[in-house]
């Protein structure tokens, strides 16, 4: 389930970036390339559609973030921490002879 949410989040992020890059901050954007008078969508409708897509994808990203926070429960994190603690405690504390560093440099 966590993998599915992660993949969906990545797809939404890429789509959000593409929609934002298509927009023009000065009001032109995608609509400025079409100057024909008989087009189906007007300049205003194209800008509105891109703005609605931006808001929709941003809300989708928010929802996916909240869902992923719920899916990854704290119990799983605590279990992983205890495994790491066991590995850390089982590691040798005293270095072996080959790992010791001389206290002073030796003359050559």
The domains of the chain are located at: 1-16+44-79
pLDDT tens profile 12-57: 999 999 998 888 766 555 555 555 544 555 556 777 888 899 999 9
Q: Give the closest residue to 61 by CA, choosing from 11, 95, 97.
A: 11
- The pLDDT of residue 38 is 46
Residues in contact with 71: Cβ distance below 8 Å, sequence separation at least 6, in sequence order? 1, 2, 5
Classify burial at 29, counting beta carbons within 10 Å of its beta carbon; exposed 0-12, middle 13-18, buried 19 or more. Answer: middle
Q: Is the pLDDT score of 78 beyond 50?
A: yes
């Amino acid at each position: 389930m966590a993998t599915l949410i992660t993949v969906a989040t990545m797809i939404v992020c890429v789509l959000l970036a593409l929609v934002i890059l298509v927009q023009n901050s000065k009001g032109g954007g995608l609509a400025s390339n079409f100057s024909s008078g008989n087009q189906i969508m007007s300049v205003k409708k194209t800008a509105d559609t891109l703005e609605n897509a931006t808001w929709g994808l941003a809300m989708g990203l928010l929802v996916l973030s909240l869902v992923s926070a719920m899916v990854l429960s704290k119990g799983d994190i605590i279990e992983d921490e205890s495994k790491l603690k066991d590995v850390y405690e089982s590691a040798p504390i005293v270095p072996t002879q080959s790992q010791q560093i001389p206290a002073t440099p030796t003359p050559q």
